[in-house]
Every structure is written in C-alpha cells, then in structure tokens.
Amino acid sequence: MDADIDPSSFDLVVVGTGLPESIIAGAAAQAGKTVLHLDPADNYGSHWATLQLDTFVEWAKRGGATAPLKYGSDGPDSGTNPTQAPTASACPTMESELEVVPLAASAPIFSDFALQVGDAATHLANCVLPPGVEAPKKYGVDLAGPRLALASGAVIDLLIQCGAHNYLEFKAVEGSFTWRNGQLEPVPSSRADVFKSRSLSLVEKRHLTKFFKLVTESNIERDPSDGGDSVSEEDLDMAFGALLTKHNLPPSIRQSLLYSVALLTHDQDSGPAVTAREGLRAITAYLHSVGRFGPGVGAFLYPLYGSGELPQAFCRIAAVKGALYVLRRGVRALLLDKASRRLRGVVTTTGQSLRTSKLVSGPGLLESLPKAETQAESLGTIPLELYNGTTTPSEERFIARFVCITDTPLTPGQSNILVTFPSGSLSMALPAHPVRVFQAGESAAVAPAGRFLVQVSTIGSEGRSAREDLQPVAEALFETRGDADEESGQGEEASNRALEATDEQGASRGTREAGGVGERIEQTGSDTAGNGGRPAEENGSFSSGLGAASPEPNSGPTPSPFNADVPGSGVAAEAGISGTDGQQVRTVDGANSDGAAAQTSEFRKPRLLWCVYFKQRVAAGQELAEGDIYVCGSPDESLTYGHVAEEAETAFKRLFPDLPYYPPQAPEPEEAPDEDEAAE
C-alpha cells in the first residue's frame, strides 16, 4: 500500500527529476521554500537519466515510457482507472470552491525505435544482447546523449556556486575531432595545436592564429570608438560564416569553427544563419574552457557514471535543504480555484490531494495544447485559458539518436572523444545538419573493459526515421560485418593493440582518484534505478550531513590559450583540481587539449556489435496559469547544457520573483582552537 505524503501542503511541487526540474527544486529549497519532488519512474533523471544497458533495453521496448504506475492502493485492479477524472470521493480534502482538471500524458517524447545487431536489423521486442556484449550493468546509456559540459559553461559555474560539485566527478574529454574526407582531424584549441597541425598550410595557420587572437583579445560588447581590436558593429551583424570568409579562412577551417568550436546545431548554408556576434560569443566560451581546470585539460567535461549524475547532484542539494522526494508517484489532476483559475493544489496518482500554489513539471505531462474544437472532450489536456497569451508552443521537431557498442576505440589510445560531422561532410548525404558523436569507455564508468559506448545525435529530417538519418554516419564510422577483420586483413592483433593502448592509458589515469574538493560522496540504498552503475535511493531520501564546501571566489577572467602557451598535449598530474580562475571541480584525470596534438592518421573502423536507433521529440518549455505552473522543455539538439541552465533560472525567477536564485554559499566557519591549543 502506498502511504500518503505528510505534510500535505508545499510551496512548490515538482514532477519529474530531469535536469531543469532538479535545478529549480534545488534553488527553491535553498531559498527556504518547502518542496515536494515527485517522479512517476523508479529512478532519477527522467528524460535526462543514465540507464544501465538492460534497463535501457526494457525502456526501449516500452517505447521510451516509464514503467507502468500502480493506481489506487492495491494496484491496477483496484478499480481506480488512470484515464478517469478524479472525483470528490477520490479527493476527500478537496474544498467546494476547487475544480478538478484531469491530466494525461501528451504525445510520446521518444519513438521510432530500431535495433541493429552487427549488420542485421531486427525487431526490438526480440532484443537479446549478442556475444561480446556482456555485463549489461556496467554500461551507462544517456537518454539525452551525447551531452557534454563546457568547462567555462553555466552549469559548471552553477555546480560550484551551489556546492553540487561535491557530489560529482568529471572526466576530461581526451580529444575533439572533425570528420573530413574520411578522416578524423583534430580540432585546434591553442596556439600550439594550430602550429602542430599537418593539415594546414603555413598561411592558413597564420590566418587562424590571427583570428583566434582577435576573438580572445577583443570585447564584442565594447564600443568600437574606444579603440583596440573590437569587431565593428557592421561585422557583428553579418552572418558568422561570412565573417570567417572575410578573415581568409578556408572552407575546411570554417566548417571546424562553425560546428566543432562554436558548436552550432543547424546547417549554416541552407538554414537560418547565426550572426557573427552569436558565433564569436560561442567561440570565446570554448576557448575560455580550454585549460580552465589545469594545463592539458580540454574544453569539455563528462560526468563519471554518465550525464544522469547531474540532476541527481541538484536533487541532493534540495534534499539537504529539506525537500521531500517520492519516486513512483506522479500527478494526475490539478486543483484550480473556480473563480480565479489559479492553481491551488494537485492530485497524485494514488488519489491524494495536496495543497500547493506552484507546480513545475517535466515534459510529457502538461505541455500538450488542446485543439479548440475538441477541448471540452479531450481528457488529459490543459484548458487553453491556462496558457499565458505571451507563450505559444514552438514548431514541433525531432532529434534522431542512436546508441551503439563497439569493440575498439575510434582513435587508438583515446577512450573518451567527441567527433563532429559538419553539414555536408558525407558527400551531401543525409543527415542535413551537423552530427555529434561521443565515445566513452571504462575510464568514464559507462562501459566495461574492452568495450566502448558511442552515442550519436542530429536534428531529424522530416518524414524520415532515425535510422535513415543516421545510417550514413554509422557506415562511415563503423564496420558492421562480423567477418570484417578477416576481410580487411587486420585480424585480432590490430584490435588487441588498440585495446592494450587504451587499457594502459586507462590504468595510469582512470583507476586513481584525483585530489580535489572534499571526499567522494558514496550513495546508499539498493540499486534498483539502473543509473549507469551508480545506486540511487529507492525512496528518495538522502543521507544527512552532505555538506558542501564553498568554492573560492573567482579571481578574474580565464587566460586565453592564445595569450599564453597552453600545451596542446600531456596529462595533468592531478587533473581537474583548481582551475586557473580559482574555482574547483573534481575530475579523475587530465587529457590533452581536446586531442588536437594527436595528428590525423589512417582511420580504422571499429566493429559495431549492437545498436539502437530512436527519435526524440523536442518539447519547448511552457508557462501556464498566470505563472503558477511551468513545464520544462525536453532535451534539445545542443551538445552542452547552457540552454538548460538558462531555462531553469528564467523559470525560477518567474515562479518566485522575490527570491534569490542560488546565492553564493557562505564558507563554513573555522573551528575555534580549544584551550590547550590556544595556550600553546
């Protein structure tokens, strides 16, 4: 029997433990509000979760839905139908002036699942892990992957500011590459990287170095009349691609800058082009990320055990501040004031009514708009009048994703790397937009030894399946034939050499824990959530006393790799410790500066052992009921988390305009010396 939640009144109810919902819950709890955080699933993360491979397969077989909920006190056969509107008998505490507005799930977020084992496609219902894919609990699959954090990005700053970084460890991404002419070319991110490149002529190197120096030394917000190297307003308003052409950068470098450095997600030739102002801001953020947490550490960080650790860290912040967590429970109806139409409470999936004036939800519960002609008959949609006039749903779009397991790394000796396919890099074949590929291995704790987990995504094409969109990428990167080694003449010896190189590097870096801020926080509870090998608390409770050390104040801007000689390669001894700006984030090893020192060599395809394609609908965030309700957006096509941090902050300030948003935490007072020490 599911016990009622006590107390039954909260300042904020949050449904879903995705990243934006968890950030908002943490901010509200830290500001002193009473917070109830629910999730219909039995694991943390919602659409941002990291699942063990066997859990991921079951999730995919359900079409990307959470496990079926039990309604009523005795399960689904108790007579409580989840498709029926709650009544006064189901809500005994409901007052006469409140109206019950029933809810139901909107269109699915995930769809179009397709399984491939080797070179054979098969139905997902028949999914059996093939030989070579053992130990499924050692894999961690990010539902929103690939997703990386910029070292100077908003999420890293927020983690440090609120103390959530104490609950995380990061891996520095070892290499960033651009696909060009059938090869992986390193992305230059420092002066040393540019001049070590073998693919650029001396003239091209000079043009690129001059452009990077202009970006890092100029302030794009500064008035050009102030002097210096500020870019003119005329140049800032032009298309970013046109600005790169104006600086004599060849097409290959422009492609790398647009999609591997500025991280643009849309084709800049056929679609809406970003302005030079936006592009320069993106490049500045990238360059300031390189070396922030030590020489040799690149621009990107990846959470150990997967990106699903990020929402859990913010949930811990909320729990420490008193938030109540309950899994396997959601919301099935709203309680609205009949006169004002303002939110006054919610009804849970167990039939309990709770008082609250603010509600935050993840996508898939409240964000569907009703059609005017069927509004009165449509069960599970929000009346159109609840939507603020200034908020309209965005045009529907999809992201094509696939997850695969390989037997060797894409680049010898590098376990965790990023590969970008610029638009048109596959001889104008699909996909039409840039493609992100992230490979991670044992050192990131998302795959067992000798296996690599690769996650791929791009903006989906209208009318095409995820497999149709991404199969050209799979064919370019991976060998799907079971007898590929024999046919190519490479044999097992070549694979073993690649694995040995990776294992040696992982043994020297990934098996030790670096020093840093505080000790590693160990979670307690049974491992029922499938969170990439990391156990999550089954009942939502957290261990008390999880204090967070306050970060050191920012001592100034991050030195640019083009104002100081930042090495393009090498491993930091205790990488990811203190950054060059005095801030701290734990990483478990260092890496070269995005792998740019590694030179292009003959590309050998890893063998694809197992793969699942699927599509994800992009749902935009929505504000409802005069600001009483906010529905967070789903993961989008971005590689980094900047938009998530921005959305969460905006939503919190609309919900609680008079409260501070994650104010810097005061350092813990030092213990006074005892009398004996004072006497000495």
Domain ranges of the chain: 12-49+66-107+308-394+620-655
Region 12-49+66-107+308-394+620-655: CATH code: 3.50.50.60
pLDDT of residue 111 exceeding 90:
no
| Contact call for residues 36 and 14 (beta carbons, < 8 A) | yes
Residue 63 — pLDDT band, cuts 50, 70, 90?
A: confident
DSSP 179: E
Q: Which run of H or of E encompasses 575?
A: none
Cis peptide bond upstream of 559, omega within 30: no
Two tokens at 116? 């491939």
Q: 157: helix, coil or strand?
A: helix
Express each pLDDT in 410-430 by its tens digit. Answer: 999 899 999 999 987 886 666
Distance CA 603, CA 577 (A): 34
Directed axis angle between helix 154-162 and helix 309-320, to 10°?
Answer: 30
388 Cβ partners below 8 Å, 6+ apart? 623, 624, 626, 627
Mean pLDDT along residues 447-467? 92
Distance CA 409, CA 137 (A): 20
> CA nearest 418: which of 144, 145, 176?
176
| Contact call for residues 356 and 13 (beta carbons, < 8 A) | yes
User: What is residue 450's predicted lDDT score, i.e. its pLDDT?
Assistant: 92
| Contact call for residues 78 and 84 (beta carbons, < 8 A) | no
| Contact call for residues 232 and 247 (beta carbons, < 8 A) | no
pLDDT of residue 227 exceeding 60:
no
User: What is residue 141's predicted lDDT score, i.e. its pLDDT?
Assistant: 96
Give start and end residues of each alpha helix (H) in 587-662.
642-655
Distances (CA, A) of 62 to 98, 210, 476, 494: 36, 53, 30, 39
DSSP 259: I
The residue behind tokens 């294992």 is 503
Residue 532 — pLDDT band, cuts 50, 70, 90?
A: very low
Mean pLDDT along residues 340-362? 93
User: What is residue 585's predicted lDDT score, i.e. its pLDDT?
Assistant: 63
pLDDT of residue 400 exceeding 60:
yes
Residues facing 435 on adjacent strands: 421
Highest mean pLDDT among 47-56, 365-374, 570-579: 47-56
| Contact call for residues 258 and 269 (beta carbons, < 8 A) | no
pLDDT of residue 224 exceeding 70:
no
User: What is residue 112's predicted lDDT score, i.e. its pLDDT?
Assistant: 86
pLDDT of residue 398 exceeding 60:
yes
User: What is residue 519's predicted lDDT score, i.e. its pLDDT?
Assistant: 30
Phi and psi torsions of 261, nearest 5° = -110, -55
